[in-house]
């Protein structure tokens, strides 16, 4: 999955410090990132970009490190520079190396958060960065804002040797997926699993087992993957607003998608490859 970057280590302790010449700069414009023109992901360094903006240091916010390499967000830096190009953040799904793809999309989530919390939502004054934790605060009214992370579930609904697979309605993603949805306020994550399965396909589930989680910065989400057994009737009642189709697949008939960065795909492969039915 995209966050599995071993032997590299992602360090997100918030310890702001001044950038060094070799620090990587993450520069975004909307959902585009500035990269060196190259087949692989290559971020500009502070030393390279300093030449184009003498006030660059003040525009930089420390984000995180991977191993000993520090990453900074450079805000309001929109120049077109020879040898660099703007690329849509979706490319972090496929370009290598993976530890830089993970850093790039994680930085993009933080960029969107900083951009959309410049002013206090309560009193409208300017927010300032806290120096002890990754938090924005309003010095006038005391409002505090933390990075936006929305919990969501992915559910592999199983019935013995069968797995329920679905396709989204009205989305570009055309491959088979599993039932998924965001947690609502006031419910446990297990209740989210039951509600989403009922809403999307009209089925009851039991024996809900946690599988793995995944930070999914493309949509500011923390994905929580579960398997759950069908409880009772297997007749699907489709929510056509959400899904184009949903159907049961015998384990051996499950369509294969290449291994990729998503938890959904890992869960589908895990079920298909598992000889033991009782996962
Ligand atoms: Zn305020």
Query: Residue 70's Cα: distance from chain center in Å?
Result: 20
| Residues surrounding ion ligand 1 at CB below 5 Å | 120, 122-123, 138, 140-141, 143
How far, in Å, is the centroid of ligand 1 from the Cα of 142? 6
pLDDT reported for residue 259:
67
Say if CB 114 and CB 27 are below 8 A apart.
no
Name the average pLDDT for the chain: 92
* pLDDT for 170 beyond 90: no
Q: Quick one: which of 198, 258, 263 has its CA closest to 225?
A: 263
Q: Which two tokens stand for residue 31?
A: 């959902």
Ligand 1 center from residue 99 Cα (angstroms): 37
pLDDT digits (tens, 9 = 90+) for 16-49: 889 999 999 999 998 899 999 999 999 999 999 8
The three-state DSSP-derived secondary structure of the chain is CCCCCCCCCEECCCCCCCCCCCCEEECEECCEEEEECCCCCCCCEHHHHHHHCCCHHHHEEEEEEECCEEEEEECCCCCCCCCEEEEEHHHHHCCCCHHHHHHHHHHHHHHHHHHCCCECCCCCCECEECCCCCCEECCCCCCEECCCCEEEEEEEEEECCEEEEEEECCCCCCCCECEEEECCCCCCHHHHHHHHHHHHHCCCEEEEEEEEEEEEHHHCEEEEEEEEEECCCCCCCCCCCCEEEEEEEEHHHCCCCCCCCCHHHHHHHHHHHCCCCCC
The rounded Å distance from CA 56 to ligand 1 centre is 27
Distance between Cα 129 and ligand 1 center (Å): 13
C-alpha of residue 217 to centroid of ligand 1, in Å:
27
Strands 60-66 vs 10-11: parallel, antiparallel or unpaired = antiparallel
Contact call for residues 163 and 156 (beta carbons, < 8 A): yes
Give pTM, 2 decimals: 0.91
pLDDT band at 153 (very low <50, low <70, confident <90, very high): very high
Which of 20-29, 96-105, 132-141, 239-248 is predicted least confidently? 239-248
């Amino acid at each position: 999955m995209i966050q599995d970057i071993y032997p590299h280590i992602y360090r997100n302790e918030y310890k702001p410090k001044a950038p060094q010449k070799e620090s990587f700069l993450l520069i975004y414009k909307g959902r585009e990132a500035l990269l060196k023109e190259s087949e692989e992901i290559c971020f500009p360094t502070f030393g390279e970009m300093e030449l184009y903006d003498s006030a660059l240091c003040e525009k930089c916010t420390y984000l995180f490190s991977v191993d000993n390499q520090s990453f900074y967000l450079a805000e309001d830096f929109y120049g077109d520079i020879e040898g660099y190009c703007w690329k849509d953040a979706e490319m972090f799904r496929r370009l290598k190396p993976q530890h830089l793809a993970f850093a790039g999309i994680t930085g993009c989530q933080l960029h969107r958060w900083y951009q959309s919390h410049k002013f206090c939502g309560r009193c409208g004054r300017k927010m300032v960065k806290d120096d002890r934790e990754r938090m924005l605060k309003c010095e006038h009214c005391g409002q505090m804002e933390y990075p936006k992370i929305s919990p969501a579930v992915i559910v592999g609904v199983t019935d013995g040797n069968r797995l329920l697979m679905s396709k989204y309605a009205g989305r570009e993603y055309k491959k088979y997926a599993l039932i998924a949805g965001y947690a609502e306020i006031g419910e446990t994550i297990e209740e989210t699993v039951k509600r989403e399965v009922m809403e999307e396909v009209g089925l009851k589930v039991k024996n809900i087992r946690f599988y793995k989680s995944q930070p999914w910065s493309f949509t500011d989400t923390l994905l929580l993957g579960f398997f759950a057994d069908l409880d009772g009737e297997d007749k699907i009642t489709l929510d056509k607003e959400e899904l184009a189709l949903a159907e049961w697949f015998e384990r051996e008939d499950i369509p294969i998608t290449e291994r990729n960065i998503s938890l959904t795909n890992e869960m589908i492969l895990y079920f298909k490859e598992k000889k033991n039915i009782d996962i």
